[in-house]
Amino acid sequence: MTVGELLEYIYLHNVDRNAEVLVQRVEYIHFEGFNISGMRGLLPDGTYGVYPEGSKSTGWPTVQKEGDCGMTEYISIHCPVRWDNDNRLYLDLHY
């Protein structure tokens, strides 16, 4: 998602300038090298099923930045979300 796309979403959904912004929590399984044995998901052959013993996640692309607190990784947001009767803006990281 680009800044332009996010601003368009904010405009079209009338998000208040003072709205709290929350980001969806991402588990380590979405990043490279996490043991996903026994979990269900998209297999290398394009079908859905259970990952065999020894399977590792291939990971999402990340951008690494060095900051005051050490190395930090960032990923792109997938889409913004608004919920009825909630002033906050949510940013989904999962597809």
Give the confidence band of 66 by pLDDT, cuts at 50, 70, 90.
Answer: confident
Tell whether 18 and 57 lie within a shared domain: no
pLDDT given for residue 29 in this prediction: 62
Tell whether 14 and 43 lie within a shared domain: no
Please state whether the predicted TM-score (pTM) of the whole model is above 0.75: no
Give the confidence band of 58 by pLDDT, cuts at 50, 70, 90.
Answer: confident
Nearest to 88, CA basis, from 8, 10, 36, 5: 10
When divided into structural domains, the chain yields a total of: 2
pLDDT given for residue 7 in this prediction: 93
Tell whether 35 and 60 lie within a shared domain: yes
Tell whether 56 and 87 lie within a shared domain: no
Tell whether 48 and 61 lie within a shared domain: yes
Give the distance from CA 5 to its chain's centroid: 16
Helix H, strand E, coil C: the string for 1-68 is CCHHHHHHHHHHCCCCCCCCEEECCCCHHHCCCCECCCCEEECCCCCEEECCCCCECCCCCCEEEEEC
More confident site: 50 or 92: 50
Mean pLDDT, the chain, as a whole number?
83
Asked whether the predicted pLDDT for residue 95 surpasses 60, the reply is no
Task: Provide φ and ψ at 49, rounded to 5°.
Answer: 180, -165
Tell whether 21 and 50 lie within a shared domain: no
Do 37 and 25 contact (CB within 8 A), yes or no?
no
Q: Which two tokens stand for residue 29?
A: 């399984």
Tell whether 39 and 65 lie within a shared domain: yes
Domain range enclosing 95: 1-25+77-95
